[in-house]
């Protein structure tokens, strides 16, 4: 090859080589370090409960030991902390990759004193002409407070289920209708005034209950978290599925009683709306035993799943949870619609 052709070719090769070396994009892809996003912390804790922070990278690897936790703007030693007073706090994690510091998402958590949610159970039936009084009294209490968990246990009608019969045998063996119970074992009698319920709601409680539920197709998954300020001995957890907006005619003995809310509505009341109807028990209907004793200030978790029949409308379904003592008295309860999260009250 003569010099006239050789030198331009050498020059062209040199230009291409220098160009490639400058960008390096032809030889390898520059990989940025992963950014930490998986900070694990609950939304609420009880006073003096030990809070443990964990953090995970994008691949799910636990990198807690390599992380530094910043709570309310101050770096803490280790990954645990507790507080004796109620309040709201924020935390995030720092993690270093190749001398570059990355921050996790910032999470807010609360220190709380649980409040009492009163459990109300209504033993009823569409054939019972005096029973609408109880359901109406419950609706009037709902005008005062949301802090009630209601279960309607039906007998002798289209809404009767086997777990309900077991409850009737245990808590209404005399078969009197209507029968209503406060916190499972205390009679709530005619005229079903609100004062015994109002005296309990909004009072401090030692037990916090949270409900987290999700539908995946027709599979309902439920995650419960229970924490108590005191050791729980011989306690049980009760978890029910309830349903609203069930339409059935209701016998009405108050049709001619001018002093009744149900005056003139007919007998039967056509297309009466039945709410809070017991549809399924996730636990033994009287409750599943908890760890004995269940230590104070320790998280206890319970998980349940159920395939929901296609005839159900998920928007009408809710979950009632109770913690009951050895005498079957409900110490605290919780309610949540499905596909939602209900924190400690």
Task: Look up residue 261 and give its two tokens.
Answer: 């809310």
Q: What is the pLDDT of residue 36?
A: 55
What is the pLDDT tens value at each position of the chain, 345 positions in all? 444 444 444 444 444 444 444 444 433 444 445 555 689 999 999 999 999 999 988 888 899 999 999 999 999 999 999 999 999 999 999 987 777 888 999 999 999 999 999 999 999 999 999 999 999 999 999 999 999 999 999 999 999 999 999 999 999 988 999 999 999 999 999 999 999 999 999 899 999 999 999 999 999 999 999 999 999 999 999 999 999 999 999 999 999 999 999 999 999 999 999 999 999 999 999 999 999 999 999 999 999 999 999 889 999 999 999 999 999 999 999 999 999 999 998
Distance CA 338, CA 43 (A): 19
Task: Look up residue 127 and give its two tokens.
Answer: 């054939």
Q: What is the pLDDT of residue 22?
A: 41
Comparing CA positions, the residue from 78, 79, 66 lying closest to residue 40 is: 79
The Cα-based distances of 136 to 87, 92, 196, 240, 292 in angstroms read: 38, 48, 16, 22, 39
CA 269 to chain CA mean position, Å: 35
Distance CA 142, CA 227 (A): 26
The dihedrals phi and psi of 170, each to the nearest 5 degrees, come to: -85, -45
Distance CA 342, CA 55 (A): 24
The Cα-based distances of 144 to 161, 195, 202, 260, 276 in angstroms read: 31, 11, 12, 20, 18
The Cα-based distances of 326 to 233, 283, 323 in angstroms read: 8, 16, 10
CA-based torsion, 279, 283, 285, 290: positive or negative: negative
CA-based torsion, 171, 224, 138, 244: positive or negative: negative
Q: What is the pLDDT of residue 13?
A: 45
Comparing CA positions, the residue from 25, 160, 41, 148 lying closest to residue 90 is: 41
Q: What is the pLDDT of residue 29?
A: 44
Q: What is the pLDDT of residue 12?
A: 42
* 197-220 residue pLDDT tens: 999 998 999 999 999 999 999 999
Q: What is the pLDDT of residue 10?
A: 43
């Amino acid at each position: 090859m003569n010099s006239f052709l050789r030198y331009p070719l050498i020059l062209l090769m040199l230009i291409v080589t220098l160009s490639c070396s400058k960008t390096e994009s032809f030889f390898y892809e520059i990989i940025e370090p992963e950014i930490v996003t998986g900070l694990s912390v609950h939304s609420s804790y009880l006073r003096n409960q030990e809070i443990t922070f964990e953090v995970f990278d994008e691949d799910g690897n636990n990198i807690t030991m390599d992380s530094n936790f910043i709570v309310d703007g101050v770096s803490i030693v280790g990954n645990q902390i507790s507080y004796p007073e109620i309040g709201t706090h924020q935390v995030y994690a720092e993690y270093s990759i190749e001398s570059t510091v990355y921050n996790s998402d910032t999470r807010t958590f609360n220190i709380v004193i649980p409040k009492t949610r009163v459990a109300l159970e209504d033993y009823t039936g569409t054939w019972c002409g005096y029973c609408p009084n109880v359901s109406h009294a419950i609706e009037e209490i709902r005008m005062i407070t949301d802090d009630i968990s209601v279960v309607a246990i039906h007998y002798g009608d289209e809404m009767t289920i086997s777990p309900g019969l077991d409850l009737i045998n245990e808590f209404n063996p005399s078969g009197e209708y209507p029968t209503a119970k406060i916190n499972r074992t205390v009679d709530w009698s005619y005229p079903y005034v609100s004062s015994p319920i109002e005296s309990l709601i909004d009072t401090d409680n030692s037990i916090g209950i949270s409900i987290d539920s999700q539908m995946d197709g027709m599979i309902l998954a439920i995650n419960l978290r229970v924490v108590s300020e005191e050791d729980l001995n011989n306690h049980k957890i009760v978890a029910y599925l309830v349903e609203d907006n069930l339409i059935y005619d209701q016998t009405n003995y108050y049709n001619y009683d001018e002093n009744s809310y149900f005056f003139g509505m007919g007998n039967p009341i056509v297309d009466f709306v039945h709410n809070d109807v017991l549809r399924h028990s996730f636990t033994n209907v009287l409750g599943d035993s908890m760890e004995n004793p269940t230590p104070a200030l320790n998280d206890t978790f319970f998980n349940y799943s159920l395939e929901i029949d296609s005839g159900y409308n998920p928007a009408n379904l809710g979950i009632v949870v109770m913690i009951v003592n050895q005498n079957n008295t409900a110490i605290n309860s919780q309610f949540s619609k499905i596909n939602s999260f209900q924190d400690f009250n």
